[in-house]
Amino acid sequence: MNNKVEICGVNTAKLPVLKPSKQKELLMRMKKGDKKAREEFINGNLRLVLSVIQRFNNRGEYVDDLFQVGCIGLIKAIDNFDLNQNVKFSTYAVPMIIGEIRRYLRDNNPIRVSRSLRDIAYKALQVRDKLVSENSKEPTVTEIAKELNIPREEVVMALDAIQEPVSLFEPIYHDGGDAIYVMDQVSDDKNIDEVWLEKIALKEAIQKLNEREKLILTLRFFEGKTQMEVAKEIGISQAQVSRLEKAALNHVRKYI
């Protein structure tokens, strides 16, 4: 049966396959400016584009978009291929197609990530696919890092960086009634009522301290300075700072 799958209006089941001798003949004709040979050569290598874009199936991109971008990479490879080099066209074209798709994914990501981080992520994904193929099981991040000879933390950061963002309003469950969204499952530990009330109570308690006590608590707990640094700044001994700090904290606890 003809399993018809259309990508960009092209029936992939009917894509032609060129024999090496035919490819060489078409390449030679193309170099002489034969436009028909060029068209036939492009059509004869669309399966190559198809095989490459399958590597990017897990990115959530439309297959049609990836196919079009892959075709741009194919055409660039055709325009730059040197017949005098002892290299198969597919060997030369595949990296060009992959590079074009990677640029597209990088430039169209809603979150800007550094190129070096993206390169590590894509290399990690390639190594992952290779290890899965070799061992028939999912590799650990440590195994991927070892294969790339880079720290494990760099691999984790790179893979996290290329994850697609999720909208807080994306539904995650629906049983016929009201949908449950991502935001319904995210807790906010900073803005609950108890924390809000505690902040108000703390602010009021600090206002009841004298100016020196306020200054010491501000320098110690809001600016993160040591007792020695505070002592030097306000011109008293470290022992005095320690005593005043303790007294101020006791006053705050009493007022709260």
Measured in whole angstroms, the distance separating CA 84 from the mean position of its chain's CA atoms is: 40
Q: Which domains are delineated in the chain?
A: 1-108 (1.20.120.1810), 111-183 (1.10.10.10), 193-255 (1.10.10.10)
Looking at residue 117, what is its pLDDT? 77
- Helix segments in the chain, DSSP class H: 20-31, 35-44, 46-53, 63-80, 89-107, 115-135, 141-148, 152-161, 193-207, 211-217, 227-234, 238-255
What single-letter DSSP state applies at residue 58?
Answer: G
Of 67, 70, 81, 72, the C-alpha closest to 28 is: 81
Looking at residue 202, what is its pLDDT? 79
Phi, psi of 174 (to 5 degrees): -150, 120
Looking at residue 1, what is its pLDDT? 41
- What six digits make up the tokens of 219? 């320098």
Considering only 29-33, 57-61, 126-130, 169-173, which range has the smallest mean pLDDT? 169-173
First to last CA, the chain: 79
What single-letter DSSP state applies at residue 139?
Answer: P
The 10s digit of each residue's pLDDT in 85-116 is 778 888 888 888 888 888 887 777 655 566 77
Looking only at Cα atoms, what is the longest distance across the chain?
93
Percent of the chain exceeding pLDDT 70 equals: 77
